[in-house]
């Protein structure tokens, strides 16, 4: 059987959807040839006609369009021959044993945190496999391939596009060799292990999957979540005291007073789950109370979905920042080697979620002030006090050359054209502290030191403009450089001075800015953290999961002084 190699333009022109698709796709796809083999029997010709019609009628850029395009090219490479249907004695067409086993996987998709209805759709009617109607058979064939690819992609990348939850979720899907996958599945007597290869292998994902499987068994003993509210300090009164006492298995009392007995129990609880032991019940402590048996099924499903968004390989040695946890860790072969607290972006200036590689360490860094901070904070401050930039060790730059801030009309900052940059010089008061850790990205976000240490003592630590402040940056640097023979904490501290100094490790280090409201500890216990940016609840909504009315996530009810920092 000879395959014809033709350009995409020629192929499209010869098909029923050519006039529609040429204008849409020629610029992007005609630069390389596409293998399209002509159909050689009636069933194959019907499959081609059906795929052509679906491709031509779908809206450009839609999910239906992308799926139809992929299927057209996949089948085009194989003469549009069916993958799942076969013709037996007497011309009878049957559904393959492999397809039957995949249908069983679709039926059990709930165990994977997925929805069977996404794959067992109305157009997969198995009675059509016994039909003599070639159009019905062709429709069944291509619909089943579409469902298989959809299931595979959901296993590997999740079923919700991250950007539909928030544009701050800068996560791209991982590629799948779809043609090779379909061929492997069609030829295999057991497709389950092949599809299982696509599911995340991270121990936390597998633990959540196990928790999902066991969730129904413990539902009757599951306490209602403790609601959010004002920060509760020793001596305060609050109606939630009774629920908290019950959660900590203390005797019931009639008073709403947060008394010494409860304070002691709360401090013991905080120490056991890795929180600041301060006896203050804020959002982080409430979230921890609501972990374990209080975890909702939809929380498990949403966190499983986010694990599917993560890279399949986090890196043998990597940095993992979990925003809701306000915590950074260094992992080696899945084992935590180092951890420290971090301060992350506010709900207004959220830290974006993405993965990259740490490439540079900068000692005595300059701070190149973002235009949003110049407009929103520095310019108003200068208008009140013209000496503001001098007092904060800042340079005003025009085309890279320092100019006098006294000669600039700062009221023009709010206009679309303000040709000046602001840079803070290295020094004790620099907003980046003494070191920053760079993984160049479009968000201009990085890890860095800070001269403002007081916020690390708080349980809720979302106070930055988006960058991530590290509590113990030189301890972190020492642990980060564990694989570098020429870089250490000592060598970095030796660079202290008035000049910016760049240090480039020999090996780039994967860094993951992640968002998990459930974490599974080494002991197997599930710990819950606050939904600081609301990503969790938005994902639950996008997944179409019925959920009990969640408590509103709120910051600690305390005044936090404005800080000029990234």
What is the full DSSP assignment across 222-272? PPPPPPP-S-B-TT-B-TTHHHHHHHTTPPP-S--B--HHHHHHHHHHHHH
pLDDT value at position 3? 34
- Same domain for 506 and 398? no
Per-residue pLDDT, averaged over 254-265, amounts to 93
215 is a domain residue: no
Q: Which residue has the higher pLDDT, 543 or 92?
A: 543
Mean of pLDDT over the chain:
85
Q: How far apart are the first and last CA of the chain?
A: 63
- Same domain for 320 and 453? yes
- Same domain for 341 and 305? yes
- Same domain for 362 and 473? yes
- Same domain for 78 and 22? yes
28 is a domain residue: yes
Residues 300, 537 contacting (CB under 8 angstroms) = no
- Same domain for 56 and 114? yes
- Same domain for 474 and 560? yes
DSSP annotation of 368: E
**pLDDT interval class at 2 (50, 70, 90):** very low
Q: What is the CA radius of gyration of the chain?
A: 29
276: left (phi over 0), alpha (psi -120 to 50) or beta: beta
Q: DSSP E strands: which ranges in 364-507?
A: 367-368, 394-398, 401-403, 420-424, 435-438, 447-448, 462-464, 468-470, 501-503
Tell me which residue of 424, 452, 422 sits closest to 364, measured CA to CA. 424
145 is a domain residue: yes
User: Which residue segment(s) compose the domain that 230 sits in?
Assistant: 223-294
> Highest mean pLDDT range out of 2-11, 69-78, 222-231?
69-78
**pLDDT interval class at 31 (50, 70, 90):** very low
518 is a domain residue: yes
Tell me which residue of 342, 347, 527, 346 sits closest to 437, measured CA to CA. 342
Per-residue pLDDT, averaged over 496-502, amounts to 96
**pLDDT interval class at 40 (50, 70, 90):** confident
- The residue out of 180, 196, 212 marking a domain boundary is 196
Are β-strands 447-448 and 468-470 bridged in parallel, bridged antiparallel, or unpaired? parallel
340 is a domain residue: yes
- Same domain for 258 and 300? no
Is the pLDDT at 372 greater than 80, yes or no? Answer: yes
- Same domain for 360 and 373? no
421 is a domain residue: yes
- Same domain for 310 and 443? yes
The size of the chain, in residues, is: 566
- Same domain for 328 and 408? no
CA separation for the pair 466, 147 (Å, rounded): 39
347 is a domain residue: yes
The residues, ordered by sequence, that sit 6+ positions from 310 with a Cβ below 8 Å of its Cβ are 200, 202, 355, 512, 514
pLDDT value at position 90? 66
- The residue out of 294, 327, 347 marking a domain boundary is 294
- Same domain for 249 and 306? no
CATH of residue 283's domain is 1.10.101.10
283 is a domain residue: yes
CA separation for the pair 301, 276 (Å, rounded): 28
Alpha helical stretches, state H, 387-534: 388-391, 473-480, 489-493
Q: What total number of domains does the chain contain?
A: 4
Q: Which residue has the higher pLDDT, 169 or 379?
A: 169
Express as a percent the part of the chain with pLDDT over 90: 52
């Amino acid at each position: 059987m000879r395959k014809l190699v033709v350009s995409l333009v020629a192929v499209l022109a010869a098909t029923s959807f050519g006039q529609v698709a040429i204008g849409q796709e020629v610029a992007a796809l005609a630069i390389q040839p596409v293998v399209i083999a002509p159909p050689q029997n009636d069933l194959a010709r019907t499959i081609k006609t059906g795929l052509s019609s679906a491709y031509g009628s779908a809206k450009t850029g839609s999910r239906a369009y992308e799926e139809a395009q992929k299927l057209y090219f996949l089948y085009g490479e194989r003469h549009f021959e069916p993958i799942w249907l076969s013709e037996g004695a007497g011309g009878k067409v049957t559904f393959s044993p492999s397809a039957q086993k995949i249908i069983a996987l679709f039926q059990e998709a709930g165990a994977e945190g997925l929805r069977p209805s996404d794959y067992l759709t109305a157009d997969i009617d198995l009675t059509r496999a016994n039909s003599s109607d070639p159009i019905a058979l062709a429709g069944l064939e291509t619909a089943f391939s579409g469902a298989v690819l959809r299931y595979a992609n959901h296993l590997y990348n999740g079923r919700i596009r991250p950007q539909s939850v928030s544009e701050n979720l800068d996560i791209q899907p991982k590629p799948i060799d779809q043609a090779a996958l379909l061929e492997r599945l069609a030829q295999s007597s057991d497709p389950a292990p092949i599809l299982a290869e696509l599911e995340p292998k991270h121990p936390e994902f597998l633990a959540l999957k196990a928790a999902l499987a066991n969730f129904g068994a413990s539902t009757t003993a599951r306490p209602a979540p403790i609601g959010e509210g004002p920060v509760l300090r020793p001596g305060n009164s609050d109606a939630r005291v009774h629920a908290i006492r019950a959660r900590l298995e203390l005797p019931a009392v009639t008073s709403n007073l947060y008394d010494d007995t409860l304070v002691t129990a709360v401090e013991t609880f905080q120490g056991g789950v890795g929180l600041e032991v301060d006896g203050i019940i804020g959002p982080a402590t409430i979230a921890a109370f609501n972990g374990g048996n209080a975890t909702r099924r939809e929380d498990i499903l949403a966190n499983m979905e986010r694990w599917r968004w993560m890279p399949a390989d986090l890196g043998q040695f990597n940095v993992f920042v979990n925003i809701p946890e306000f915590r950074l860790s260094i992992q080696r072969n899945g084992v935590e080697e180092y951890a420290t607290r971090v301060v992350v972006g506010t709900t207004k200036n959220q830290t974006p979620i993405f993965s990259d590689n740490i490439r540079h360490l900068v000692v005595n860094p300059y701070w190149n002030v973002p235009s949003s901070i110049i407009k929103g904070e520095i310019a108003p401050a200068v208008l009140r006090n013209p000496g503001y930039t001098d007092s904060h060790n800042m340079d005003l730059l025009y085309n890279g050359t320092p100019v006098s801030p006294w000669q600039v009309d700062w009221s023009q900052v709010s206009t679309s054209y303000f040709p000046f940059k602001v840079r803070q010089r290295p020094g004790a008061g620099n907003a980046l502290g003494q070191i920053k850790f760079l993984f160049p990205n479009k968000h201009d976000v990085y890890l860095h030191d800070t001269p403002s240490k007081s916020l690390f003592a708080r349980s809720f630590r979302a106070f930055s403009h988006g960058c991530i402040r590290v509590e113990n940056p030189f301890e972190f640097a020492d642990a980060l450089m564990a694989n570098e023979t020429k870089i250490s904490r000592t060598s970095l501290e030796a660079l202290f001075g008035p000049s910016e100094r760049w240090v480039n490790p020999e090996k780039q280090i994967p860094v993951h800015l992640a968002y998990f409201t459930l974490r599974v500890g080494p002991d197997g216990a599930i710990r819950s953290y606050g939904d600081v940016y609301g990503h969790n609840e938005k994902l639950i909504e996008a997944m179409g999961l019925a959920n009990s009315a969640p408590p509103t996530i709120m910051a600690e009810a305390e005044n936090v002084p404005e800080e000029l920092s990234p």
